[in-house]
Amino acid sequence: MDRYNRHIILSEIGQTGQNKLSKAKVLVVGAGGLGCPVLQYLVAAGVGTIGIIDFDVVETSNLQRQVLFGSSSLGQNKADAAKHRLLDLNNSITIISYPEKLTFQNAIELFNEYDIIVDGTDNFETRYLINDACVITNKPLVFGAIFKFQGQVAVFNYNNGPTYRCAFPKIPKQGEVPNCSEVGVLGVLPGIIGTMQANEVLKIILGIGEVLSGKLLCYDALTNKTFTIKVNRLDEEIQSILKNKDDFNKRKMDSVCKVENFEGSIKEFLNQENVQFIDVREVHEQPKVEGISVTNIPLSSFLEHLDLIDKDKKKAVFCQSGIRCKMAVFILNKHNIQDCYSINEGASEIIEILNNRHCEGGTTEAIHSNSMTHKKNTNE
Amino acid sequence: MLIKIKYFGLLTEVTNCQEETIDFSGNIISELLELLFVKYPNLKNKEFQVAQNQELVPVEAKLLSNEIVLLPPFSGG
């Protein structure tokens, strides 16, 4: 194949190596500063199946370093937006996006689907979660992390090598180490570190060179100094993860950056006063919800219209199927707008509920008028 | 004995320097750290690992080098 010719003519790779790449399955956790370059190179290299999990949405301040995104991706989920861009880069591979948060509940099942896990996250809690899930599922972990102008790269849990907990046994206290959004980061740094992570993934798949296992590579962008430090395996750390593996999926995230994704049924909000109903579907989407006062803010331009949100009211956000409204609530929370709930029902179900409410004796005038329309329709 | 100490990540914000040389007469790494905690009380609240001779070592280890590195975990991505 022409596409991979420059790989195939390398004696270290050849058609055999390229076939290994096309059979490989890699999961990238986090499509941010590190995830973008990792994904870009793995996709271009022809890694056959690539999973991307990220719950976050693209914001303007991401574009300085998260190079898969542009103006047209603002407000979109990062996993979905990355997949969209990457399929243009290479449509001969399989790319699966998971627009959700990695949790203790979904990690094991997800990791079991892949050969290699790449950590491109931005908080310790998820990093330790990924490490422990890699130990339990016995998957190599390609680790990368950054702080201002410095970065760390390592391959953990590879061929009985040490794990992240062997290097850093104690999880830092919350707020002890700030992340990029709090202290800033040189845009090109995650590009360098992420590209090094992609390199480790390719070496593991191809079985060439020396994998960065049992070592922590430290890089300083300001001085261009790189050094590696040997990390020894700590059996007690690994045994403690394995000993508690049956309780793994019962553990809960307790970080400050957890998503406060309150959700509920439309029924709970119809009886309440002081509620702003927000429809985040695009303007052309049908059916329209009538009979209650609805503010339309399409998700595609959600960030530009946050001024339409009534801060004094409880916000009940809905969409067509109940997915986009979760994203909208996430954005609202991120902008410190409190009291936001995503509605489990989609627009059609909401209309049905509003109509049934009338049949059971709806309470508000608005709902009454809506159900009149319904009554007329059903009589036809 | 003069020991060179290198700081990384946010530790440099506590120490206000990337490296320094300290005169130290003990022979265990934790003793050296105690000395640093007196100089930089905030360092005690930070999570970090110690490396000597390009290898992470427990703080109970004997000081075998005249250069040590204090390495915190990074969380950014």
Q: Please spell the DSSP secondary structure of chain B, one letter per residue.
A: -EEEEEE-TTHHHHHSSSEEEEE----BHHHHHHHHHHH-GGGGGS--EEEETTEEE-TTSB--SSEEEEEPPP-B-
Mean pLDDT computed over A55-60 = 94
Q: What is the residue-wise DSSP string for A269-309? A: HHT-SSEEEEE-S-TT-SSPP-SS-EEE--GGGTGGGGGGS
Q: Taking the CA atoms of B59, B63, B64 and B66 in sequence, report the sign of the dihedral they define.
A: positive
pLDDT at A113: 98
How far apart CA A66 and CA B11 sit, in angstroms, is 27
Candidates A122, A168, A185; nearest CB to B73: A168
In the structure, what pLDDT confidence band is assigned to residue A240 with cuts at 50, 70 and 90? very high
Which positions in chain A have a beta carbon within 8 angstroms of at least one beta carbon in chain B? 30, 32-35, 119-124, 127, 144-148, 150-152, 167-168, 170-173, 176-180, 185, 190, 216, 218, 227-232
pLDDT at A177: 65
Instruction: Give the mutation candidate from B19, B60, B64, B75 for the A interface (greatest A CB count, under 10 A).
Output: B75
Q: Which domain holds residue B20?
A: 2-71
Candidates B9, B54, B77; nearest CB to A227: B54
Whether residue A168 is predicted with pLDDT greater than 80 in this model: the reply is: yes
Q: Does residue B21 lie in a domain region?
A: yes
pLDDT at A233: 97
Token pair for A145: 């992390």
**Do A375 and A352 belong to one domain?**
yes
| Ramachandran angles phi, psi of A241, nearest 5° | -70, -45
Token pair for A221: 């962008």
pLDDT at A178: 67
Token pair for A100: 């959700």
Instruction: Give the mutation candidate from A193, A218, A223, A255 for the B interface (greatest B CB count, under 10 A).
Output: A218
Select from A218, A201, A181, A228 the least CA-distant residue to A62: A181
pLDDT tens digits, residue range B17-53?
999 999 999 999 999 999 999 999 999 999 999 999 9
pLDDT at A369: 35
Lowest mean pLDDT of A150-164, A349-363, B4-18, B42-56, name the range. A349-363
- In chain A, how many domains are there? 2
Mean pLDDT computed over A5-34 = 97
Provide the 8-state DSSP code for A19.
Answer: H
How far apart CA A117 and CA A14 sit, in angstroms, is 24
Whole-number percent of chain A with pLDDT over 70 = 89
Of A250, A283, A315, the position where a domain reaches its end is A250
Whether residue A282 is predicted with pLDDT greater than 80 in this model: the reply is: yes
The domain that holds A273 is classified in CATH as 3.40.250.10
Candidates B8, B46, B77; nearest CB to A120: B77
pLDDT tens digits, residue range A67-119?
999 999 999 999 999 999 999 999 999 999 999 999 999 999 999 999 999 99
pLDDT tens digits, residue range A202-214?
999 999 999 999 9
Whether residue A257 is predicted with pLDDT greater than 90 in this model: the reply is: no
Partners of residue A32 in chain B, C-beta under 8 Å: 77
**Do A138 and A278 belong to one domain?**
no
Which 30-49 residues of chain B touch chain A by CB within 8 A?
45-47, 49
Token pair for A164: 């992240």
Q: Does residue A57 lie in a domain region?
A: yes
Please answer yes or no on whether A229 and B76 come within 8 Å at the CB atom. no
pLDDT at A378: 34
Residue A76: C-alpha distances to residues A10, A80, A271, A277 (Å): 39, 7, 32, 21
How far apart CA A69 and CA A37 sit, in angstroms, is 11
**Do A6 and A119 belong to one domain?**
yes
Q: Does residue B76 lie in a domain region?
A: no
How far apart CA B67 and CA A12 sit, in angstroms, is 39
**Do A276 and A245 belong to one domain?**
no
ipTM: 0.95
- In chain B, how many domains are there? 1
In the structure, what pLDDT confidence band is assigned to residue A264 with cuts at 50, 70 and 90? confident
Of A207, A226, A250, the position where a domain reaches its end is A250
The domain that holds B33 is classified in CATH as 3.10.20.30
User: Within A317-364, where are the H helices?
Assistant: 324-334, 347-359
Q: Which domain holds residue A66?
A: 2-250
**A264: enclosing H helix or E strand:** strand A263-264
Of A217, A250, A283, the position where a domain reaches its end is A250
